[in-house]
Amino acid sequence: MAQSLDRLKESPSQTAGPYVHIGLTPNFCGIEGIYASDLGSTIVNDETKGERIELRIRVLDGTGTPLKDALIEIWQADAEGLYNSPAELRGAADPNFLGWGRQPTDMETGVCLFQTIKPGRVPFRDGRLMAPHITLWVVARGINIGLHTRLYFSDEEKANAEDPILARIEHRLRVSTLIAARQGDTYVFDVHLQGEKETVFFDS
Amino acid sequence: MAERGSNRAPETGAFFQRDRQWHPPAFTPGYKSSVLRSPQKALLSFDNTLSELTGPVFGHAMLGELDNDLIHNFANPGESAIGERIIVHGRVLDERGKGVPGVLLEFWQANAGGRYRHKKDGYLAPLDPNFGGCGRAITGEDGGYVFRTVRPGPYPWPNGPNDWRPAHIHFSVFGHGFAQRLITQMYFEGDPLIWRCPIVGGIADKAAIEALIAALDMHATIPMDALAYKFDIVLRGRRSTLFENRPEGN
């Protein structure tokens, strides 16, 4: 026998369940007075640099029905392509932009809205620039482990064409599942959990 | 730049690959809601980029005085939640056994009777007017955290005709990179419902299930006040950056 590697195993995931709002957006579900506001509900302020955009996101199940009990978190770079994170070593990100947001899907319509800015480009591991993108993390009842994906922008065709992650998608038909459609200042994005239009999810 | 909430230098190595045989798979038909909410196509794998290696960090300044006290954070002045008073404590570690400092933990749960304060919960057990059911904490330098609450009750749910969730507390954990993001559930040592639950049963490996069961910790109790449970959480570890581009790596 060789020595033990002394590694621990990651805690296994479990579903967030239907009452995820109690913990993560308590004011949204009527539990007021514990936190002043729901964490992640506001991403930009008046001083934030960059182009203001709205994300209009839905999450659909295998029948095409929108989930009304999902929760989405986004993580993105600032307008200059810098992350507001201690692990960002290239420079200081915009102090008026946290880069992270959290919203539940509406309990009636299933629509989830984020007011944010369009991110700048971030380098891939080899220094090539990735296309502007926002990382999405989706949890809900029935989802045993949070799903990671990315939202890219329909008006960034040239950048999308040279993006190293999009280039990894073998079935080219599926690239379109990661591209949000611009309508004015709003980008519309449907996450399909299952079926023909299934969104590309990541293991990274 | 030091990590917020810590004096350590930030790490930038890629995260260890997730063991998806250890986690529950997406499709676990015994848990009916997973049937139409599980992707059927293979995940796209790639080594972490900056988008996964970085993540938000929250300062201790965001915390209110009662954020980690569910017995009192929703209670009327001078009153407290009804139920078995418990301390829950532990450490957030990574797979290398290192404490993970300065990370936000959020928890939510039903009250002592198994009722959630949520309009979609129609269970006939009553709400407790002094219990909201949410709390949060940020880990200290050694990755430690603590909160107090009442032990949640089990509750029935519409899955099988007579399915009951074991007593549990939901945990949401941030690491230092967004790829470490994790939501899980803590169960209580000795609860016979654990081994009958289809949500727990989505995890194939018995050792993985046991990793979610908090142990009764008599050393951490407060005599004549509260029992205690210890629950450690493990996040993905990071590869060393030795031999990568940065000479100061490792």
- Can you say whether the dihedral through the CA atoms of A119, A125, A129, A133 is positive or negative? negative
Q: From the centroid of its chain, how far is CA A18?
A: 20
Give me the mean pLDDT over the A62-89 stretch.
97
Portion 57-116 of A in contact with B at CB < 8 A:
61-63, 67, 69, 73, 75, 77, 83-89, 98-100, 107
Terminal C-alpha separation, chain B: 16
pLDDT averaged over chain B? 94
pLDDT tens profile A53-73:
999 999 999 999 999 999 999
Phi/psi of residue B126, nearest 5 degrees = -75, 155
A34 contacts B37? CB cut-off 8 A: no
Residue-level pLDDT at B243? 56
For residue B70, how far is the Cα from the chain centroid? 15
Return left, alpha or beta for A6; rule: phi > 0 is left, psi -120 to 50 is alpha, else beta.
left
Contacts of A8 in chain B (CB under 8 A): 93-97, 234, 237
Query: Could you give the CA distance from residue B88 to residue B146 in angstroms, rounded to a whole number?
Result: 6
Q: Has residue A31 got a pLDDT over 50?
A: yes
- What element of type H or E holds B186? strand B182-188
- Can you say whether residue A30 is alpha, beta or left, with left for phi > 0 and alpha for psi between -120 and 50 degrees? left
> Do the beta carbons of residue A109 and residue A71 sit within 8 Å?
no
State pLDDT tens for residues B172-194.
999 999 999 999 999 999 999 99
Q: In this complex, do A19 and B47 lie within 8 Å of one another by their Cβ atoms? A: no
Confidence at B249, pLDDT banded by 50, 70, 90: very low
Asked if A82 and A120 count as a contact pair (C-beta separation under 8 A), the reply is: yes
Task: Find out whether B138 and A26 touch, Cβ atoms under 8 Å.
Answer: no
Q: In this predicted model, what pLDDT tens digit does every residue of B71-88 receive, in sequence order?
A: 999 999 999 999 999 999
